[in-house]
Chain A
Amino acid sequence: MELRPPSYFTLAALIDGPLHGYAIMRRAGELSEGTVSVSTGTLYSIIDRALAEGLVAAGEPYVVSGRERRDYALTPAGRSLLEEESDRLARAARIVGARLKATGVLAT
């Protein structure tokens, strides 16, 4: 299964431990070095799908400063999907990088 960048970085945001919605958005932005910005609507669409597919698990809601929050954690299935996706991306980058190098050498 291929993950789009917002889904990939949203799941990746949970590698270090459970986070609540806004913290996931910030962490996804940091991990992608600002290339991916996950909005509130997109975040919960991704979380809904990830919950349905068993990739993340939701904790109990709690209130901080009058705002309701809930932590989400990566499940073993989510971690394994992330590993597969990062391997796939790394392999694709290696192949293309190697071709670019080879053609660059030929060109010079």
Chain B
Amino acid sequence: MNREWVGRTVARAYPAEVRAERGAELVGTLLDAGGDSWAAFIRQLGSLIGAGLAARTRAALLQPPAQIATCALAWAAVMTAVLGPVAILGSEVRFGGHLHFPEGTLLTLVLLLRVVLPILAVVLFTLNRIRTSGLLGLAWAVCRWLEYPPRFEHTAIAEFLLPLVGFGVMVLAPQRMPVRGRWFWLVPAAVFAYFEATGIGAQSGIGYIAPLIAALCLLPFNPSFAIGTTLAWSVLGVVYLTSSGGAGKSTELSIVLVSCVPLALIAVGIGRLRVHRA
């Protein structure tokens, strides 16, 4: 295996701006320090990965709080858009093609509203087409509201206002949106899809908590994403808490889902303090 190629690959652990400034130098020093021994080279690789990830964490946590908050709202909207189609497609796999969609021409419309619009919004977000994604997301949020007008209770705020505000921010201030890590939504989505498709943890609530844990694991690299995901998932918590008779959706689960929001905020606060002190 070509050591230089390995070194260049591993140097990707560093943020892009560090790589642009001294990526080649990092690889040169790594090759010098690795010498002829593979063991020494691997040790140096390990240290480079650790330092690169630490640099990423530092850069992510040192963003201005307003930037973190704005991006968190956008992420909350995006993750709300991810939740619906993943739940639908997961159920489709699990129950073998028995989607609870109406027949006929209405099916196309409902599919468009529930699946195609949010997926398009998320894909465009990933491709950095922030404003277009926001517009599609807004259209989806409004259509969803028209399809199922939320009861004007506190759940309405969670179900309707969160995507409205998040996608609205994306339309009004696309330049403030995250530049990197826009594919992060795939991680909780994949975890959620797995649990939805297999049905594992449906009763215990693990299927709902596991995607959140996955998102929280990425908090050091993208605090906005972690906060946004907890906000989106807290909507589920609020809805389950206030709706009656949700199968297997216990009050405890709702509390766990909702309490992840302050947990993420506290973790980001502690992380910022530690980085400032260091």
Residues of A within 8 A of B (CB): 20-22, 25, 39-45, 48, 61, 67-70
Contact = CB atoms under 8 A, between A and B. Distances in A.
B18 to A, nearest CB: 8
Interface residues of B, number: 22
Contacts of A22: 28-29, 32-33
Nearest to A45: B51
A25 B33 contact: yes
A43 B29 CA distance: 10
B33 A40 contact: yes
A67 B49 contact: no
B50 interface: yes
A58 to B, nearest CB: 9
A42 B51 CA distance: 7
Nearest to A48: B55
Contacts of B49: 41
A69 B51 contact: no
Given A22-B28, A39-B47, A40-B47, 4 more contacts: A39-B48, A40-B44, A41-B51, A67-B28
Contacts of B22: 44, 61, 70
A44 B28 CA distance: 12
A24 B29 CA distance: 10
Nearest to A58: B22
Interface of B: 22, 24-33, 43-44, 46-52, 54-55
**Dominant secondary structure at the B interface:** helix
A39 B43 contact: yes
Contact of A69 (B25, B47, B52): B25
Contact of A39 (B28, B33, B54): B33
Contacts of B25: 21, 61, 68-70
Nearest to B35: A22
B28 A68 contact: yes
A40 B26 contact: yes
Which of the listed residues A20, A39, A40, A48 has the most CB atoms from chain B within 10 Å of its own CB?
A40
Contact of B47 (A42, A48, A67): A42
Which of the listed residues B25, B30, B31, B33 has the most CB atoms from chain A within 10 Å of its own CB?
B25
A22 B25 CA distance: 10
A14 B32 CA distance: 19
Contact of B32 (A39, A41, A67): A67
Nearest to B34: A40
B54 A21 contact: no
Contacts of B32: 21-22, 67
A84 B28 CA distance: 33
